Each structure stands twice: as structure tokens, then as C-alpha cells.
Amino acid sequence: MNINQLVETLANDISSQSIMNMVTRISQYHRVQGSNGYFKAAKYVQSILEKNALETKLYEFPANGVWEHWGWITPISWDITSGECWITKPIKKRLCNYQNVPMSVITHSKPCNFEASVIDARKGDQVEDYQKAKGKIALITGSPRKIFQLAAEHGVKGLIIHPNAERAADLGPNAVQYDGFWPIAENLSKVTSGFSISHKQALELKKYLETNEEVLVRFKIDANFSINDGKLHVLEAEIKGSKKPLEEIILICHLCHPSAGANDNASGSATLAELILSINRMIIKGDLPQPERTLKFLWVPEFSGTIPWLKLYDNQHNQRKIISVFNLDMVGESPRKIGTPLTINCPSCATPSYLKALLNNAARCITEQMAIYDEDGRIYRLNYRLKPFTGGSDHLIFNDRHFSIPSVMLSHEDPFHHSSADSIDKVDPHECKSVAIIAGSAAFGLSIIDTQFLKELAYFVFLEGVEDMIRHELYLDQGELTRNQKVRQLKLLERKIIEQMESVLELKPESEVQEKLTYFSQAIKGHFSRITRQLKIDSEEPIEEELARMKIKRNYLGPISYKQLDRTDRSAEDKKTFESLTKEYWGGITLELLNLADGTLTIEEIFLLLNIYYPNIELNNVLSVVKLFQRERILIEV
């Protein structure tokens, strides 16, 4: 089967209405990691799969704030029954209520029932913000998870968070943002209680405070932690391969996030469920063959469930092999109400792969073949784009050099994510269906050992490499690289394109496909050789020793945890240095730097590779972050 046939077959069976029904149901659960609401959502998805004769497994892992692997510590199980926040002076007025807006209670708040005066603590991340905060409620814009210990040191009784002006411009005046304390066992005693209010409500509180009036607020929360018996749950379902069952293609989504969390990530969870149901239906009907490699589907608590699940895989990797990973995270954003294109986030450049070319062509098929009608009957086509590796979700764990499993994320940028504005009306089931077809056709194609599919894949990867090569050649005269750096960068790009083509060989194609790949590789090498000869090396150009000779490697095991990466004890200057590479691509550039630090590449070579995929990156920022990580022993010189 070729990719066109797979796209058409899936398009004829996948139901956008079924996806929407499941999004509606899942979004009703308050799906905090390790909570009863998450467990109920997982059991709901499991029940649907089992009713359709699919075998499932529900893994249990500790949610106690103690279990740790690779520096990742699982969260503490937490459940909430009710919560409300009232202004009691100078007027009596309810600010928020858990029953109406579940994420108005800051996740992991302690149970409480008290009244206290409010102070404006600005962002809340500096000592001076809390000079008069003892015994009071601090109104802040910062994230509770980063500052709750600082607040506790100054005797703060509670926190009220609200969007800053920039975030409020995206959310609107009435939405509240989602955030949490996310304590572990060792700092649980410093957690307080808190609520999240809208920008409009915060302005009202600030107005009272500006007149020097005392503002009293009452907190009441009924919640509890389950330190000893809390559990994280990972739901797994599979369609077992008939010939190579230990070779697996993973399709994953995170099921967690507070209600509603419609696009983030009820959309991905429902889309993944409908995809496995559809593939199973078509196998039973004979419209699709039985896969020869195993298709495995995972619904996880983001990161905290993926890490322990991958620990099990790490212990079994001599028997099992994950071929590739497809992560569905925020896949249903309405083209009319949100308007951002579907983004295909590519695998790490440290793990060259056929996945970018495969998904690009699957998406192109949908764009050309499928006419989608909105609720007003107007036709639109799928709008999508390709982006270099981006962090922010579970695919980054698989992409990490420890595993080096090529992994992609299908997602949308969404100004309403992590807020009460992420509501069901902003989910477009047709967008979800398009994502299911793209991921499903690519994953299923990899699961069958089909010469036609692999031959087509070889051409896709070659054409993708040619396009990358020509695009790079087109802009060769631009930028601030020296002539010698451009030559060295060309050689690095050539190597990556060749490795992308060679990745097809891992699928064990027949000799005809292997011969095609050899021919394509020679063509690429020949063209790069001609470009390099035209540039010529400048023998007089000075070479900076630090860049040209120093090789670095990682000084830790496994995927680095956010706690290790985004340390809260850094100086203001070091935080600024760190943010110079992390503020874009959800930290993807920094993660790529660490993935490339394998001890074989110099700092200059790492920079030149990063510069191919992230053209705006600055060498000084890379050097500064490398030096910071060397001081912190995250990176060491070889």
C-alpha cells in the first residue's frame, strides 16, 4: 500500500463525530495527574476500547513525591472536592468557585478555611515582593510552582494568581489560568493554598488596594493529598504485529490536565482512541492487513507517567525495540476560532529520520484530497507547517539521546492553553480527524513490511533532502558565518541528509529499495562536493581554539529532568543566560544542544548544526549556555 491509499482508507472510516463525543466526555473530568478524576478518565477510555474487543493494560506507578528515576520525581496524588474564594471587605463578593471553574483552585492547594488581608506582590519571584506579606494573601502573576517555597519563607498564608497583561491579551479579561504548586515529599510542608482569578478580577482587587483600603479575602478548600497510596495510571492498548511483534510503533498522548482542557488534551486523547478503534475495525473488515510490527497506543500523565513506563522499556530494550513515536498533543484547534496551523514538530536533529518526509507527504495528501466543511458549509483545506524539534511534551523523552528514538509531535499553538478558555467550543473534530489520518497512515505504513510503501518512502526522504540542500544553498551568501564555517556546516548538513536516507534501511527494505538509497546518497554527496569546491577554504581565516577543539558530552543518565534543567537557585544573570536559548521552541534548542553533546562534536560543530535548523540562534548564546552547564556539571569537556 502507498501513502495515498492509506490516507484514503483511513479517511473513509475515521469518525469525526465519534471523536467529538469522546472529547466532550473526557473534558468533563478534572484530570490532574495522580487524581481520582484522571483515573476515571482513563477507565472511561479503557471501557470504550475493551467494548470493541481491544486488549488493554492499566499500569500503576507511585504518585508519592518520592519515586525518582533519571532525576524525574513523580507528583503527589491530590484530589479536590470543593473550593471557593470570596472578597469580604470592602465588599462581599465571590471571586471564584471550583464547581463552576475547576482550574480556579491552584492544583495541590492544601485544605483550608481562613480569612486574611491581601497585598500586591507583583510577580512574586523576588524577596522584596514579600516585605509585608507575613500572614497575608499575596496577589501574584508568577508561577506558584517556582515561588511557593520563597513565599513560605516569608510567612505568606495564601496565593492568588492572575494573568499578567501580556497573557490577558491572549486570554481575554475573564479567563483564569491553570497552574499548580507541584510539590514533592521533601517540600510538601511549604505548600500553601491558592486560587486563580481573571485579569479583570485582579484589576478590581488592585483598585481597592491603591486606595489604601484593607482588602479581606476568605479561602475555603476541601482537598487532600494521598502520599502513601496515590497512583499514576498509564493506559496501554495494542494491535500486535504478526511477524515482528517486538518491534513497536508508539502513538502517545497525555490524558491529563484540569477540566475542561478540551484541546489540551482531550482532543489528542479522543483522537488517539478513535484511531485505534478505526484501525481495528478495518482489520476485522479486511480493509487493512494485520500489521507485521506492533502498534502500541498510550494515554499517559504527561512526563510523570511516561518516565516510569519508559523505565520498564529500558529494562527490556534487548527484547523490544521502539521504531518511532507519534505524539498527539493539542490536535483539535478550530481553524476559525483559533486559526493556528497544525504543526508537525520534527524529530531531534541528533536522531536523523524518515519521519519528517513521511508525515509531510501524508499531510500533503490530505490537503490535496480532502475537502472539509465548517459549520456554515464553507470549504477549507488543512493548513499545516513543519517545525524543527520542539520541547514541551512527551516526544522529547523518546527523542533524548539516551533512547535516540525518532519521535514527532502533532500539535497547534494555542493562546488559550492552560486556561479556562480552553473550552469545548474551540475544538474542531475535522481537524482532529485530519491528525488521526496523518499519524495513522504514517504509523500503519511503518507497521507493514511493504515494498511499495518503503520504495515510496525512500523517494520522499531523498526529495526532502534535496529540498533541504537547495534551501541551504539558496541562502549560503547570507548570515554571519565565515567562509570556512559555511564549508564545515555544509559537510555537517550532508552527513545529516545521508543519515536520514540511511534511516530507511532500519526498516529492512528489499534490495531494490537499498539500491535506490545508495544511488540517492551518491547524488547528494556529488552535489555537496560541487558546492564546497565553489566556496573554497580560506587558509588565512583564524580559528577560535575554544570552538574548534573543545568537545563536550552530557554528564547525566537518561533524559534530563526539568528540575535539573530549569533550576530555581540560579542567579538572575544565569537565569537570563538559560532563557536565551529556552524562550522559543519550548526549550527545544537547549534540548537539541544536549542531544548533540555526545563527545564526538566540537562546540562549533554543535552550533553549526543548530544554526541549520534554528537560523536565528546566536553563537554567543550557545557559548554562554555551554559554560553555564559546565559550571553546573550538566556538560563536561571530553
pLDDT value for 532: 87
pLDDT value for 213: 86
152-166, 175-189, 307-321, 328-342: least confident range = 307-321
Mean pLDDT of the chain: 95
Q: Is 287 helix (H, G, I), strand (E, B) or coil?
A: coil
Bridge partners (DSSP) of residue 219 are 85, 114
Query: Which tens digit of pLDDT belongs to each residue from 511-531?
Result: 999 999 999 999 999 999 999
Query: Which tens digit of pLDDT belongs to each residue from 433-465?
Result: 999 999 999 999 999 999 999 999 999 999 999
pLDDT value for 261: 98
What is the C-alpha separation between 437 and 363, in angstroms, rounded?
8
Residue 228 CA from chain centroid, whole number: 29
**Phi/psi class of residue 247: alpha, beta or left (left: φ > 0; alpha: ψ in -120 to 50)?**
beta
- Quickly name the fold that domain 79-226 has: Glucose Oxidase; domain 1 (3.50.30)
Q: Is 358 helix (H, G, I), strand (E, B) or coil?
A: helix
Residue 565 CA from chain centroid, whole number: 16
The more confidently predicted of residues 543 and 231 is: 231
pLDDT of 595 above 80: yes
Torsion angle, alpha carbons of 600, 601, 602, 604, to 10:
170
| Mean pLDDT, residues 122-140 taken together | 96
Q: Is 146 helix (H, G, I), strand (E, B) or coil?
A: helix
Per the CB < 8 A criterion, the answer to whether 33 and 47 are in contact is no
Query: Which tens digit of pLDDT belongs to each residue from 417-433?
Result: 999 999 999 999 999 99
| Domain 3-74+230-447 class, CATH top level | alpha beta
DSSP H stretches of helix in 503-618: 511-535, 545-549, 562-565, 572-582, 588-596, 603-613
Q: What does pTM read for this prediction?
A: 0.97
What is the C-alpha separation between 72 and 231, in angstroms, rounded?
16
Q: Is 310 helix (H, G, I), strand (E, B) or coil?
A: helix
- Give 542's pLDDT tier (boundaries 50, 70, 90): low
- Enumerate the CATH 3.50.30.30 domain ranges in the chain, comma separated: 79-226
Reply yes or no: is the peptide bond before residue 260 cis, omega within 30 of 0.
Answer: yes
**Phi/psi class of residue 34: alpha, beta or left (left: φ > 0; alpha: ψ in -120 to 50)?**
left
pLDDT value for 52: 96
- Give 539's pLDDT tier (boundaries 50, 70, 90): low
What is the C-alpha separation between 200 and 204, in angstroms, rounded?
7
Torsion angle, alpha carbons of 279, 284, 289, 295, to 10:
40
- Enumerate the CATH 3.40.630.10 domain ranges in the chain, comma separated: 3-74+230-447
**What's the sign of the alpha-carbon dihedral 532, 535, 536, 538?**
negative
pLDDT of 209 above 80: yes
What is the C-alpha separation between 465 and 335, in angstroms, rounded?
30
Cα Rg, the chain, nearest whole Å = 26
What is the C-alpha separation between 255 and 302, in angstroms, rounded?
7
pLDDT of 478 above 90: no
> Could you give phi then psi for residue 51, rounded to 5 degrees?
-65, -20
- Give 374's pLDDT tier (boundaries 50, 70, 90): low
Per the CB < 8 A criterion, the answer to whether 410 and 245 are in contact is no
- Give 479's pLDDT tier (boundaries 50, 70, 90): confident
Nearest CA to 445 out of 347, 344, 361 is that of 361
pLDDT value for 540: 64
pLDDT value for 484: 87
| Mean pLDDT, residues 573-584 taken together | 93
Query: Which tens digit of pLDDT belongs to each residue from 621-634?
Result: 999 999 999 999 99
Query: Which tens digit of pLDDT belongs to each residue from 270-283?
Result: 999 999 999 999 99
Instruction: Quickly count: other Cβ atoms within 10 Å of residue 541's Cβ.
Output: 10
Grid cell listed for 24: 466532550
pLDDT value for 549: 80
CA distances from 337 to 11, 334, 384, 426, 577 (A): 24, 5, 16, 6, 36
Instruction: Quickly count: other Cβ atoms within 10 Å of residue 121's Cβ.
Output: 27
Nearest CA to 575 out of 167, 126, 151 is that of 126
pLDDT of 545 above 70: no
17-26, 312-321, 334-343, 585-594: least confident range = 312-321
pLDDT of 544 above 70: no
What is the C-alpha separation between 19 and 430, in angstroms, rounded?
9
